[in-house]
Structure formats: C-alpha cells, structure tokens
Structure 1
Amino acid sequence: MAKMDSSFDAGIAEIEPSHSGLASIQVKLPDGSVREFPRGSTAFDVANSISPRLAAASVVAKIKALHRAASTPAAELDKDVEETAEAEMYVDHDTAVERLVDLHAPLEEDVELQLLRENDAESLKVVRHSAAHVMATAVLELFPETKLGHGPATDAGFFYDFYRPTPFTPDDLKAIEAKMAEVVARDQRFLHEFEDREEAVSKFRDTGDFMKLHFVERFTKPGEMVSLYRNGHFTDFCRGPHVPTTGRVKAFKVLSLAGAYWLGDEKNPQLQRIYGTAFFSQKEMDAHFARLEEMAKRDHRLLGKQLDLFSIQEVAGAGLIFWHPKGAIIRKTMEDWMREECLRRGYSMVYTPHVMRRELWRISGHEGHYAQNMYTPMELDDAEYRLKPMNCPGHILIYKNSPKSYRDLPVRYAELGNVYRYERSGTMHGLLRVRGFTQDDAHIFCTPEQVEDEMAGCVEFAEVVLKTFGFQEFKVELSTWDPKDSKSYDGTAEQWQMATLAIESVLQRKQIPYKTFLGEGAFYGPKIDIKLVDVLGRLWQLSTVQFDFNLPARFDLEYVGEDGERHQPVMVHRALFGSVERFFGVLIEHYAGAFPLWLAPVQIGLVPISERHREYAEKIQQQLQKHGFRVELDGRNEKMNAKIRDFTLQKVPYVLVMGDKEAESNAVSVRARGKGDQGSVGFEEFLTRIQGLLESRSMEL
C-alpha cells in the first residue's frame, strides 16, 4: 500500500514540504499574484509560506489547472449513479476543471489555488464527510462484526450505512457518539493511500465487505490504483478530500437511525443508516438545533391543526385540502387582495372549466411533455377528458374566441383557478405539495415590442405581492433551455435566444441580481423564478414569470397588426402566489401562525369580566363588525384569565377586556399580541388606531 505522503504522523507544524524533484510549479493565488514552488509542494506549504496562522486555519484547498482544459468525468456516468452520493464519493475528480483537495495533497502542475477556511460553505461539507469516517471508526471499534456501506455528507449533516444482523439501539447510538469523541480526541491523521485494485478486491472479498467490494468494482477499472483514506486502524475506500486530522471534527452529534435496503432493492439485505451532523463549533451546532426547534414550532401542519385552519382527510384522499372557516377567511382575504390588484393593473378576471377534452392537451403539448404529472384520462360520452393541470389552454381559447387587433393588445387574463396534478405519494407535504390547488394564474398576450414591458410589470407586481405579505428579501433565478437537450424543448435556438435576452434585459433594467440555470426552463420557454426568504432565512419557490413562444404557434393565435397583416402574439405566463395553498403554508410558518391584523381570521377577541358586562361587550362587537372587523366574543362562564389565555393560544392580535370602568367610560382595556397589557383607552381612539393598521396592511400591532 502506497501513502500519499509519509510525514502524516507528525504534527502540522512539523510537516516538511514533500518535494518530488527540482522542477517547479506556479501557483496563482486569489489576489492574482503568482508564486513559484517546488513540484510536489502542498497547499499547506503554500499557506504556511504566506502565514502560519492561515495554514492552521485552513480546512481544505480548491485548485484549478492553469494550463489544462478538461471535462468532468461525472458526465460519463450512468444517470442513476449521478443522482446518488456515490458519484461524489468514489468517482475520480482528478480531471475536473475545479476540485477540492486535501491540504497535504502534492501539487504536480501549475494551478490556481484557493485556501478554504471555516467560514467557507464548501469546507463544512468536507468536515461532515470526515465526521462520517469518524462515526464509521467508532462503530467498527464498538461492533467489529459490522460491514460498511457508504457515508456521504449531506446538506444537513452526514449518514453512514451499516450492515449488522443485530439492530442498533438508542443506547448503542449514545455509545457511538461517546466513542466518536474518543476518536476526535486522538487527533488522528487522515492519510490518503493507494492500493492495487486487485489487492483491494481480494481483501474486501475475503473479509465479506460486500458493499465496499461493489463500490470498488463499479467505480474503478482493472489496473487502476484504488484510493483509500486511513485514520488510525480504520481504512475506507474514498476519494476524499478530508480535513487534516480527526481533531478538526470539533462539534458533532449522532441524530437518528433508519432502515435502508442495499442498493434500494427490497430483495437485498436491509441496512441500518445512522444519521449525524457536524459543525465547525459547538456554538454553530447549538444555533442549528435552536433553529430546528423553531422550525418545528412553525410547522404549518402542526399550526394548521392547532389554529383550526385546514385539514387533509384520509377518506377523501392524499394531497387534497379542506379549508376550515378560519383558514378560508384568510384565503378569501388573500384572493380578494389579488383580484383587486389584478383589476387595478389592467387584468380581466376569467374562469375556465376544471376538466377539458384530451385533444386540447395534445394541442398544447402537455400530453407529450407533462402527461406523467396529469391524472389519467376519463372517458365520457363524446371523447376522453383530463382534469386540468394548467389554466393556460383555457385562457388561450378565450383569447381565440374573438378577433384581436394590435389596438387590443396587451390582453391580460387572470384567474384563481383550481388545477390538479398527480404528485407521487412520497412527495406530498401538507400545504406545500398537494394534488389539488388554486393557482393565481395570468396570461398576457402581447406584441413582441410589448413583451419586455409586460415582463417588467410582472416582476414589479411580484415584488409588491411579497412585500405586502411581509417578505422583504428574495432571490431571482433565470431558467433557460439546455441546447444539448433540445429534444426536451419546443421552439428554435433563435427563439430561445431572443426570449432569454428579453428576460435578461428586464432583470438588468430593474437592477435585480440573478443566477442563470441551464436546462431548468419550461418546455415552452425560459422563465424567471422568484424565491422569497422567510423569517428563518429559508428559500421558498413561489412566484414565476414565463416567456412562451410555443403555445401561440400551437393554437394559431393571431392579431391584425398596424400594417393590416396577421401576426402571432407573444405570450407571458405568470403566477405570483404560485399556488394559494403553498403560499398560505409559507405564510403560516413565516408568521408562526401569528398573522398580521389584516390577515388574522379573528382580529379582535372580546372578554367581558362577568355576565353583567356582556351587554357592553356585545355593543362593542357590533360597532367593530360594522367597521368590517372580524370579532369573537367569549361569553362563557369562565374566569377572565382563562378567556384571555384561550385567545392568546389562538394568536388573536387584540384582546379587549371590559369591566365596570370600561362600560362607564366607553373604553376598552387592550392587550396586544406579543406586547401584553396596553392599558385602558377610549373605544373611538382604539378604533381609529386599528383602522389605520388595517388600511395600511401593517405588519405591526
């Protein structure tokens, strides 16, 4: 077995540069400077030459060959391999354009080099991968009969698959975490070593390590050297990279245990998957778990039940939402605002059928491109029909029903239309992924000269939607086609280029930063996806604006131009809530169920101190309802504090308490959500205050 470099048994400060000959290489640093080092120098050598403190703080290095163009070998993998963590762990990335390497990997050619420290996101993935090795080390020391699967880093932490006939117990997980602490305390080096493929195959076969044998045979070729990483007595088939020592895995936790079949096939042995997570520091890990706890408190499914907003009934079917009265009033408020805003912006409201002939979906292209997401056809008297997954063909038929002139354009149709999509059972999640939902859809038919202004208007409208509902930050993505996969898209290269340039012009004109993603566009054209950022910093995909040169051609849409000739209009799709259900689910979590006054299902709770104060409370209720407020009076024979507590648990914005003093002076004692007792104020003064909050749709109380 050959080691990558033989000095790993020494401490970092004692490591000498490992130079293989007198030839030199050039290393380009992020500041643009180029330095010369002996060939075989390491990233650690480079860091140490700049500053010992930098060397000690570095976690991993990112390099890119200065004078060599190469393709990423992952492109040559089977698609099913690309979609697993196996590809990242076992495929050789030595020819990748840009790659991460160990700090102590020898540099054999001219490179651009970047030293990544603990504040770099890519470093965290390396730490987590190393933590998976630490966990595997601990498991084998405690349970040596165990066979290893694979252990990748994930966005949330890491996991490792193990084969062991005896199930792990909760006490075993505690023991594994304790043993991991011992491995970390040993501060063992992560040694990159190589072994002849046939030797590795023979060894794994002899020891019965059927999973490692599979990985070696699948991800290496005869005659190749197999890449291994060793820390102490533990060795694993792995490409790396890793942190320098186990001691750099500073904060970690074993989380849970789950079952998994080997290679995802239930005919294969069942594995035990242990999940964990790791961070650079205990402080960061504590913050992570505090955030998870907050997310759990905000779970819209939990709050939906607690606040009696909606339900999903098993007897009716998965992914189908029942809106309860309180949820329905919030939905009505959202939809009323959207309809009013659409009308103010020159849209015409329309309604289209829920089910239409299958032939319509053939014409639109959905039958060919989207059938797997549609419900199966139903055969009626005259033809086959499908539930609609989109509103666009219906709006097209309304446009086509009467002749149009250039003077009529743009034509803007908007609909809060119910659509139905066949989501697989494992993908549904409360309100966020459903089978039946209401899309705030709009389609704009315009001339090519009008399209940029129309798309700019849609983006501005989206900003207004997000800010009105309390979101101050969003990120924008431009999704377009992949020219290498043109069969998956309609339209010519010229049309896609024209449409993409139009969208880019809109975003640049509005000075909106964006990222471009190839291959993520709709089959009929490129799109803008606007992802809002909630109070916990999570991204949510909701608003979208899409360019379409395909459907107008498929349906032979036209208008008479100023020249008297017939022309084909351009079409813009846009949905700003995205779906009412999903937007509502995000709102619940963003506000933790404590909706602002204008959205709250019950805006004011009334608490008469005793039965003799009920008449005054009813008078206040009538006056508030006369001014359009949603009010609930608790007239139960319960103590005042119990009534206040119940309204508080329902997250009602204002609770008004009324006794003798308030009845005598036409006043109310105000308790504001999150602020407590605000004292007694005159009713008219209170009414004026909350009317202002309602009209401005304020987020504050």
Structure 2
Amino acid sequence: MGNGVAITLPDGSKKQFDGPISGMEVAESIGAGLAKAALAVIVDGEQWDLLRTIKTDTSIAIITRDSEEGLELLRHDCAHVLAEAVKELYPDVQVTIGPSIEGGFYYDFARDTPFTLEDLEQIEKRMAQIVDRDEDIVREVWERDAAVDFFKDAGEHYKAEIIGDLPANEEITIYRQGDWLDLCRGPHLPSTGRLGKAFKLTKVAGAYWRGDSRNEQLQRIYGTCWRNDKELKAYLHMLEEAEKRDHRRLGREMGLFHLQEEATGSVFWHEKGWTFYRLLETYMRRRLEAENYVEVKTPQLIDRSLWEASGHWDKFQENMFIAESEERMLAVKPMNCP
C-alpha cells in the first residue's frame, strides 16, 4: 500500500499508517493512557527505543512500566543516570559497564579514591536532579573509529577498549543523555524524567575489569530501582528484616563465630559454635546414611577449564576466588557442586 506501514498488535489487530512511525506514535494512536505508560517497544521480538523509527511492516508490543520488561528497563536506565551523576561530581572517574540485575543494577567505575557512604548520598541527590532535568535520551549510530577516538580523547579508555573488541559487523550505538554520552545497545527511556525517583544506592564493592583478577580493580556501586515508592519501600523493608536475621550478626551475638578482614568470607568458629557445627554434621550424616546415600568429596581448587565446561565460569567468574600456579588459572568452586 504505497509507502505506508502496517503494524500488527499483540491481539492480532492491524493498524495502517501513511509512512514511517515510532513506537510512541503507535501508542498514542491506541490511547493516551498507553502512551503515558509506554517506556519502549518490542519490534519483531527485539526491544527498541520508543522513539526509534519503524519503516517497514512489522509486529510490535508496547513495553509499559508495570511489565517485567519495563522494570528491567527502568533499572538499566537507573544505572546510566548513576554513571552520569558520578561523572558530574567526579569528572576524573572512568566509567566501564552498568547492567540491570535481579533487584536492581550496578555500575563499575575506575577511581583511585574509594567511594564512601557520604559519596553515595551525594550521588543519589545528583541522580534525582538529573531526573528532574528530564534530559532527552537519544540513540545515535557512530562509525567505529570515531567512537573509539571520542572515548579515548575523553579519557574513557575502558569504553574505547570495549568498542575495539566488538565484532566488526556490529553496529556501534551511542546514547546521548543530556551532555553525557555512553556506549550501549539499548533500548532506553525517551528521557530521564520517565525514570522517576523510586531508587536507592545500597553499597560499594570491588570488581575486576571484565571479571579477570589479572586486570585492574574497579569500584562497583550497587543500587535498587522500582516502579514506584511503594515497591521501593517494600523492598527496603525486606532488606531490613533480612538484616535482623543475618547469620553474621547472629553468630557474633550468640558467640558462635566471628568474621574478620584477614579471612574474607571465612568463619572463625568459637568453641560453642564449632560444637554446634559438628553436632549438625553428625546428624545430617546419620540421616543420609539411613537413606542409603553415598558421601563423596571433590577438590575445592580446580582448573578453570572445568568451570568453563560446566558453565560456571561464564556465570560466576566475577565472584569466584581465583589463584594462579605454574601458569595455570585455578578457581574455588562457586557452590557445592560438582
């Protein structure tokens, strides 16, 4: 039908438009309520920015704030707002990557000075200001060499390295968020104001660049992000309740064990606690033997080749203890298997 574009909706119905159309315009054609709730669009199974132009006949679904896809998008954008805030407050910091994760998001930064809790408070305030500014978030496609040169000139060598390692045929997309630019596949919200302020920065932890202990150590700022204040408050309340039952605190208060920096993640058992541990172990072994289970024991430190074969390396590498010996990389098993 000429240069028109036919859009098929999830219920099978079709809408005809005279020419190229954006996901936002499709949402507006359906109803003002949907347009207000819309965050992004799924085009033939792929998530797109809401304002990206659709030029051919296709099937689409609108991603709204109340969907799981919408929540993940909010968290991803919150990571980008975090990075913009950090760059505004600490211009010498280098940004690396910042994905959404279960319950929230994180962003890794290269900075010589450790972030403090006071820093997190200031960063969170600046994030709220960026939301208030309602900055447009615009997708741009760049030439690879131009993108590498831009980030190198900006002192963002980690970003330049990422671009240089991308497949030669992969499109390089840069998102302009106010005056800040970041490499990302997207999609993103139309503007920072769509994010809202139902977020909270929670902690800082160490991380290695690209999850490799041979690389530089970075600082990872974690946060949580939700659709509204009610969800955020419920999540923070859950964390508070979990803290009351934290085994580290209970162990210390009950005189069972303690932890200290010299043995990160390991327990110093006290007499009462070790007695309790052995009693539980004896009980468990007796029950297992009664049901004819056979007990085996495997090594704790194993060559990375096994973890690559099992799939653990890809999923848990950043959180595994790694040691090198005789030109081999060994890692402690990340859970009680195999």
* Smaller-chain TM-score bracket: 0.7 to 0.9
Question: RMSD of the alignment, in Å?
Answer: 3.5
Distance in structure 1 (CA, Å) of the matches to 2:283 and 2:92: 58
Q: 2:145 corresponds to which residue?
A: 198
**Does 1:427 pair with 2:334?**
yes
Which residue type is aligned with residue 166 of structure 2?
A: F
**Structure 1 residue 174 and structure 2 residue 121: aligned?**
yes
Structure 1 residue 295: Cα displacement: 2.6
Offset of 1:207 from its aligned partner? Answer: 2.7
1:24 and 2:4 matched: yes
Partner of 1:243: 189
Calculate the TM-score normalised by the size of structure 1.
0.38
Verify: 1:268 aligned to 2:215, yes or no: yes
Secondary structure of the 2:222 match is strand
Matches within 5 A, 1:335-350: none
* Equivalent residue number for residue 14 of structure 1: none
* 2:30 corresponding residue in structure 1: 50
> Residue 124 of structure 1 aligns to which amino acid in structure 2?
L
Q: Are the counterparts in 1 of residues 257 and 267 from structure 2 also a CA contact under 8 Å?
A: no
Q: Is 1:257 aligned to 2:164, yes or no?
A: no
Q: CA deviation at 1:322?
A: 5.0
1:288 aligns with 2:235: yes
Counterpart residue type for residue 41 of structure 1: I
- Supply the AA of the counterpart residue of 2:59: E
Deviation per residue, 1:304-326 (Å, 9 max, x gap): 7878999997579xxx995476x
Amino acid at match of 2:157: F
Aligned to 2:262: none
Over residues 448-467 of structure 1, what are the superposed CA-to-partner deviations in whole Å (9 max), with x where a residue is unaligned?
xxxxxxxxxxxxxxxxxxxx
Tell me the TM-score normalized by structure 2. Answer: 0.76
Instruction: Verify the 8 A CA contact 1:261 1:271 in the aligned structure 2.
Output: yes
Q: 1:112 to 1:307 in 2, by over 3 A?
A: farther
Match of 2:155 among 185, 192, 208: 208
SS of residue in 2 equivalent to 1:427: coil
Deviations 1:97-138 (A, max 9, x none): x22111111112222211121221111111111111111111
Higher RCO (C-alpha 8 Å, min separation 6)? 2
> Structure 2 matches for 1:319-338, cutoff 5 A?
323=277
SS in 2 for 1:132: helix
Report the Cα offset of residue 234 of structure 1: 0.5
Match 2:110 to one of 163, 182, 192:
163
Alignment-mate amino acid for residue 131 of structure 1: C
Match of 1:33 in 2: 13
Identity %: 37
AA in 1 matched with 2:298: M
Q: Distance in 1 between matches of 2:218 and 2:257?
A: 38
Q: What secondary structure, in the 3-state scheme, does the structure 2 residue paired with 1:61 have?
A: strand
Q: 1:419-442 deviations in whole A, cap 9, x for unaligned? A: xxxxx75635xxxx599xxxxxxx
Matching residue within 85, 88, 92 for 1:141: 88
Shift of 1:300: 5.8
Alignment check: 8 A CA contact 1:249 1:278 kept: no
Q: Check whether the contact 2:137–2:191 (CA below 8 A) recurs between aligned residues.
A: yes
- Deviation at residue 267 of structure 1 after TM alignment: 3.9
CA, structure 1 residues 352+58, in 2 after alignment: closer, same or farther (shift >3 Å)? closer
Q: What is the SS of the residue equivalent to 2:54?
A: coil
1:112 to 59, 75, 97: 59
CA separation in 1, counterparts of 2:133 and 2:176?
14
Instruction: Name whichever of 255-264 and 284-293 sits farther off.
Output: 255-264
In the alignment, is residue 226 of structure 1 matched against residue 172 of structure 2? yes
Contact 1:196–1:226 (Cα < 8 Å) also in 2: yes
Q: Secondary structure of 1:56's partner?
A: helix
Segments of 5+ residues of structure 1 without an aligned counterpart are 1-20, 65-97, 340-348, 356-372, 377-423, 436-701
| Aligned residue in 2 for 1:374 | 298
Counterpart check, 1:129 vs 2:76: yes
User: In the alignment, which of 97, 106, 110 is matched to residue 150 of structure 1?
Assistant: 97
Q: 1:207 to 1:300 in 2, by over 3 A?
A: closer
Deviation at 1:214, TM superposition (A): 1.1
State the alpha-carbon separation in 2 of the partners of residues 270 and 49 from structure 1: 49
- Report the residue type matching 2:119 in the other structure: D
Pick closer, same or farther for the CA change 1:128–1:350 going to 2, 3 Å.
closer
Return the letter of the residue paired with 1:374: T
List aligned pairs for 1:452-463, cutoff 5 A: none
Q: Which amino acid aligns with 1:42?
A: S
